[in-house]
């Protein structure tokens, strides 16, 4: 049920001078404020704030000429770190007007930043509540990644004004209607403002690492699930990230013009209503006369579809026959973006193949020589893909594919082969291709992606039995071989790039810093700590500062203890930077369980602060070589049981680390099972934690 809200707040004016709620301010006096929200909304979008804040104010004039007051409320000592967030909000207004033709509908838009918040942010109508880590930023304290994430999250919550607020969900099972759609919108926002190719690579890496794992685990569910025990556990990678990929497929199938026609019809039909995913798809279908009936399995079926693509070239007939086969239980409709290249790297043909059957054949005529295909470009569908491409063909694509995503993806596949099956790949040929990219590519962010192998977490998904320590050693050995081979070139690259005295987050500047910091980190792992220390001391922004810091604490060396103390002394009064200080130590290969216990006794550690807990305990669970032992598991379980009473939502997020326990080597498998049973036997176990543990043990 949607309702119009009028809210009057009364409080001690000395203690709570700032009194905020949704909508427009209609009355204000000392100790009292009345707010009226004229747009009907569900109660979950209601918010109320009372406290002492400083405020950054600005304004925005919409295309129709309305003046909107913009306000960001923070603790007084953080006011100097709000300008970027305000500029990001203004860019969000502008982008939504230009890309989707959507204007804001109230006289005021407010953001309140708080340190103690379980989530990233919440789109409460006209009064967004934010985790301070997604608001506060200046070059001296925030990294490039922080800046881009802040912009993205501010955009995401603003975009909810239409996709989630004005048009909301009929029930929680439709959650991806607002979250998947809005994630797609914020991804496009970042892509339009920064590097589209790098954004796509990052989003797909995130999807494959976390959502594919979710699809393969005990908590798997469709984008639109049938049931749940605890609503908090429903805010998943499947609802958000996979939901966004489903929207992206609709966009690919219809094209930008067709997709916009569908969005226009959707808002025209449903503005001010609570609707379903079916209503959204119907709008897309009706606006374009496109049949999406074969597409709906993406919303109703769980799991990641598995696809085989094989080719047969006839030199006699100059034809290429392509067979695309779905190996999943259900049939899915999806687009496959592709290109065919000749041996010189020239594009012969490209386009989009629409797959709407379990098996489908495509024939290409007038192909004068056997082409090298590039499949699933831009990752046009969230599937697991197997092809008949050889490693040599993948090496060719690393150097010649015009699609940046597939250049990177080819490199990732080669890395995976080199780590797990080195006998199946020509090491010299592979490293020569990478070296060529480093020497010739102008996109330094893309170079970093190609130079970096898949994460250990991703590799865990590619093997039947997870041997944590073996995978770690193999991955580190592969990196070491590349670093040894490229060391002179890495040193030259670092020197050539130099340091940028002015700070900005243009793709070029971000790429330059990324590549310089890649060089520093890996050269330090190879023993060049002097360079890392110089980099740390000369850094003029947090991106470079933390990169030098991370390089120096990776291994024991004469600088390590000094920089840990120096970094702390410089930034101990900055909450967000201290989260980085804790995180960097927690993830360091030199950090043991005892070191983590020591960090948890530090005067700045608080068990009751979600960000600080995540920065120590959550990050340590990703420190695979040091977390995965009996002492690591015991510490982790004790923390989860404690959180069961104080913050079960965070406890549930942490306990999901055990979701794939059955796939670990026998000893670790047994130890994790013991911990899961210990948690299950906890008295008064919350629904949040119970649902996940019970599913894992089934």
Residues assigned a catalytic role:
157
SS3 129: strand
| 636: region left, alpha or beta (phi > 0 left; psi from -120 to 50 alpha) | alpha
CA distances 695 to 106, 214, 660, Å, are 44, 12, 11
CA–CA dist 183, 152 (Å, integer): 9
CA separation for the pair 605, 596 (Å, rounded): 11
Residue 684 — left, alpha, or beta (φ > 0 → left; ψ -120 to 50 → alpha)? left
Cα 470 from Cα 625, distance rounded (Å): 10
Question: What DSSP designation does 211 have?
Answer: I
Radius of gyration of the chain, Cα coordinates, nearest whole angstrom: 26
Please give the C-alpha separations between residue 349 and each of 38, 338, 344, 374, 397, in angstroms, as whole numbers: 54, 8, 14, 10, 15
Q: What would the DSSP string read from start to end of 285-342?
A: HHHHT---GGGTHHHH--S--EEEEEEEEETTTTEEEEEEEE-SSS---EEEEEEEE-
Q: Which two tokens stand for residue 569?
A: 């002394």
| Angle, CA of 144, 150 and 151, to the nearest 5° | 95
Torsion sign, CA atoms 276, 277, 281, 283: positive
- Check if the beta carbon of residue 109 is closer than 8 Å to that of residue 68: yes
In the 3-class helix/strand/coil scheme, how is 399-416 assigned residue by residue?
HHCCCHHHHHHHHHHHHH
Side-chain-side CA neighbours of residue 553 (13 Å): 26
Cβ proximity of 155 and 90 under 8 Å: no
Is 630 exposed, middle or buried, given 0-12, 13-18 or 19+ CB atoms closer than 10 A? Answer: middle
Three-state SS sequence of 347-416? EEEEEEEEECCCEEEEEECCCCCCCEEEECHHHCCCCEEEECCCHHHHHHHHHHCCCHHHHHHHHHHHHH
CA-based nearest residue to 224, from 172, 160, 294, 283: 172
CA distance 587 to 583: 6
Q: β-strand 384-387 against 306-314: which pairing, if any?
A: parallel
Whole-angstrom Cα distance, residue 419 to residue 478? 6
Of 62, 61, 87, nearest to 72 by C-alpha is: 87
Closest by alpha carbon to 246, among 192, 311, 187? 187
**Two tokens, residue 129:** 């509540």
Cα(337)–Cα(381) distance, rounded to whole angstroms?
9
Q: What angle do helix axes 243-270 and 175-193 make, rounded to 10 degrees?
A: 100
């Amino acid at each position: 049920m949607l309702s119009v809200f009028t809210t009057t707040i009364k409080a001690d004016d000395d203690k709570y001078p700032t009194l905020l709620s949704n909508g427009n301010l209609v009355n204000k006096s000392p100790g009292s404020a009345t707010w009226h929200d004229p747009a009907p909304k569900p109660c979950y979008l209601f918010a109320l704030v009372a406290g002492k804040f400083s405020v950054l104010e600005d304004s925005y004039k919409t295309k129709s000429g309305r003046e909107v007051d913009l306000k960001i409320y923070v603790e007084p000592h953080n006011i100097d770190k709000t300008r970027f967030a305000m500029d990001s909000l203004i860019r969000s207004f502008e982008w939504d007007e230009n890309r989707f033709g959507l204007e804001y509908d109230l006289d005021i838009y407010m953001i309140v930043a708080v340190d103690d918040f379980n989530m990233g942010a919440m789109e409460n109508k006209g009064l967004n509540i934010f985790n301070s880590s997604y608001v506060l930023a200046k070059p001296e304290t925030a990294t490039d990644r922080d800046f881009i994430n802040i912009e993205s999250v501010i955009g995401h919550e603003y975009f909810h004004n239409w996709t989630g607020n004005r048009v909301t969900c009929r029930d929680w099972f439709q959650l991806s209607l607002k979250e998947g759609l809005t994630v797609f919108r914020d991804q496009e926002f970042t892509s339009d403002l920064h590097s589209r190719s790098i954004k796509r690579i990052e989003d797909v890496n995130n999807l494959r690492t976390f959502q594919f794992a979710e699809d393969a685990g005990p908590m798997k569910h469709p984008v639109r699930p049938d049931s749940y025990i605890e609503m908090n556990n429903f805010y998943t990678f499947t609802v958000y990230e996979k939901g966004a990929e489903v929207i992206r497929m609709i966009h690919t199938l219809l094209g930008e013009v067709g997709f916009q026609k569908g969005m226009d019809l959707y808002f025209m039909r449903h503005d001010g209503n609570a609707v379903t995913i079916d209503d959204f798809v119907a709008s897309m279908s009706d606006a374009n006369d496109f049949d999406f009936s074969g597409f709906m399995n993406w919303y109703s079926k769980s799991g990641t579809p598995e696809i085989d693509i094989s080719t047969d070239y006839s030199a006699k007939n100059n034809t290429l026959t392509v067979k695309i086969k779905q190996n999943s239980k259900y049939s899915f409709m999806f687009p496959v973006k592709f290109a065919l290249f000749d041996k010189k790297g020239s594009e012969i043909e490209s386009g989009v193949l629409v797959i709407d059957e379990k098996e489908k054949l495509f024939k290409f005529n007038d192909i004068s020589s056997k082409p090298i295909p590039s499949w699933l470009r831009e990752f046009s569908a969230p599937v697991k893909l197997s092809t008949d491409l050889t490693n040599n063909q993948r090496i060719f694509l690393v150097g010649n594919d015009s699609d940046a995503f597939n250049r990177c993806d080819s490199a990732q596949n080669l890395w995976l082969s080199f780590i797990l099956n080195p006998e199946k790949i020509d090491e010299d040929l592979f490293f020569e291709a990478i070296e060529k990219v480093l020497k010739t590519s102008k996109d330094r962010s893309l170079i970093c992606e190609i130079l970096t192998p898949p994460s250990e977490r991703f590799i865990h998904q590619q093997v039947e039995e997870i041997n944590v320590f073996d995978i770690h050693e193999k991955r580190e050995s592969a990196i070491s071989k590349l670093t040894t081979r490229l060391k002179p070139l890495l040193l030259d690259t670092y020197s050539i790039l130099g340091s940028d005295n002015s700070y900005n987050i243009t793709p070029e500047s971000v790429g330059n810093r990324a590549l310089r910091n890649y060089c520093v980190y890996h050269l330090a792992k190879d023993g060049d700590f002097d360079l890392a220390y110089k980099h740390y001391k000369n850094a003029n922004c947090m991106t470079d500062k933390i990169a030098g810091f991370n390089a120096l604490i990776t291994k024991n060396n004469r600088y390590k203890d000094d920089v840990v103390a120096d970094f702390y002394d410089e930034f101990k009064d900055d909450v967000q930077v201290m989260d980085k200080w804790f995180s960097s130590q927690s993830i360091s290969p030199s950090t043991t369980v005892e070191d983590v216990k020591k960090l948890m006794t530090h005067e700045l550690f608080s068990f009751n602060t979600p960000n600080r807990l995540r920065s120590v305990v959550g990050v340590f669970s990703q420190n695979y070589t040091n977390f995965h032992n009996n002492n690591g598991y015991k510490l982790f379980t004790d923390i989860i049981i404690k959180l069961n009473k104080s913050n079960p939502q965070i406890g549930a997020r942490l306990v999901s680390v055990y979701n794939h326990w059955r796939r670990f080597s026998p000893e670790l498998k047994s130890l994790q099972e013991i911990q899961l049973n210990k948690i299950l036997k906890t008295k008064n176990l919350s629904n949040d934690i119970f649902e996940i543990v019970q599913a894992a043990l089934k």
